[in-house]
Amino acid sequence: MRIGVLGPEGTYSEKAAKHWCPDAELKYFGDFEEVLIAVEAKAVEAGVVPLENSLEGAVGLTMDSLLHLQVRIIGEVNLPIRNCLLGKGGSEIKVIISHPQPLAQCRQYIRDHYPNAEVRTTGSTSHAAKLAQEFPEMAAIAGAGAAEKYGLLILARDIQDVAENVTRFAVVGNETMPATGRDKTSLVIYLERDRPGALYDILQEFASRGINLTRIESRPSRRGLGDYYFYIDLEGHVSDRPVMGVLQGIEKKASMVKVLGSYPRA
C-alpha cells in the first residue's frame, strides 16, 4: 500500500502512518492538502493527515480540504506527541523553527527559556530539523526521531506546555469501510440560514436516538461573518439503523450534509 504523508522524512504524520500500516510504502508531500489531493487522484491508496490536537484543537487546512475533496476517512490514529528541541549545539540559539502546531504547543517553553529568540514557521517538523542542520544558531522543534535522521542533538525533551499532548490523525482513502461494531462517523453540516434554535434542532436528532457525539466544531464558511460549517463526530456506522435515521432527519433540516466517512475507532 502506498500512503501519502507530510514530508520530508521524520514527521509525526510519517510516524502515524507507520503505526497504522507498518509495511506501507510512504510518499511525501509538501502539505496536508497535497496529501488529500493525491488520495482523490488515486496516486496513493491512502493518506494520513492530522485532524486535531489536544492542546491546539482542529487543523484547519485538513478540515477545509476534507469538505471540498471527494475522499473518505477510513481510519484514525491517536499519536502521543513528545516535542523536543533539536540543534547542532555549542552556539547560542537565536532562531527557533518548526511547523505552526508544535510552535503553539511549546509556546510557554519558548517564552521561558528563549524569550529573545526569533520564532519562524516552516512546512513540517522534519523540514525544520533539516534546516537546523545548516545553521548552528538555529534550533528545531520536532520529534526525537528527527534528531538521529538529521544528525542533530536533543537539547531538551518533552518541551510541550502540557504533558498529555495527543494528535488525532485521519487515515483517508476512497472506499467505504464496513461496520465493525466499534465505529465512528464524521459529518459536515451546513445550515445556511441562522435562526434561533437551528443548531438545537439538529442536535436533538442525535439525542432523540441515543447517539453519542464525540466532537462538534465550527469552521468559517468564508461566505460571510458568522456563517459556519459544523463538523460532527458520532459513535456508530452509517449502516447502523439509528445513524441512518439521524441522517434522514438532519437532511430535512440542514442545507447540506456530507458524510466524511465511517471507520473503526482508534
Active site residues: 167, 169
Give residues with Cβ within 8 angstroms of 265, minimum separation 6: 76, 182, 183, 184, 235
Q: Which residues contact 134 (CB under 8 A, 6 or more apart)?
A: none
Q: For residue 158, what are the β-bridge partners?
A: none
Angstrom distance (rounded) from CA 72 to CA 176:
7
What distance in Å separates the CA atoms of residue 4 and residue 43, rounded to the nearest whole number?
9
C-alpha cell at 166: 495527543
* Contact assessment for residue 87 and residue 94, using Cβ atoms and an 8 Å cutoff: no
Query: Which SS3 state, helix, strand or coil, does residue 252 take?
Result: coil
Torsion angles phi and psi, residue 39, rounded to 5: -65, -45
The grid coordinates of residue 6 equal 507530510
Are β-strands 2-6 and 57-58 bridged in parallel, bridged antiparallel, or unpaired? Answer: unpaired
Answer yes or no: are the C-beta atoms of 55 and 160 closer than 8 Å.
Answer: yes
Cα-only R_g, the chain: 20
Asked if the peptide bond before residue 8 counts as cis, ω within 30 degrees of 0, the response is yes
Q: How far is it, in rounded angstroms, from Cα 36 to Cα 28?
A: 12
> How far from 247 is each of 175, 189, 190, 211, CA to CA, in Å?
20, 10, 13, 11
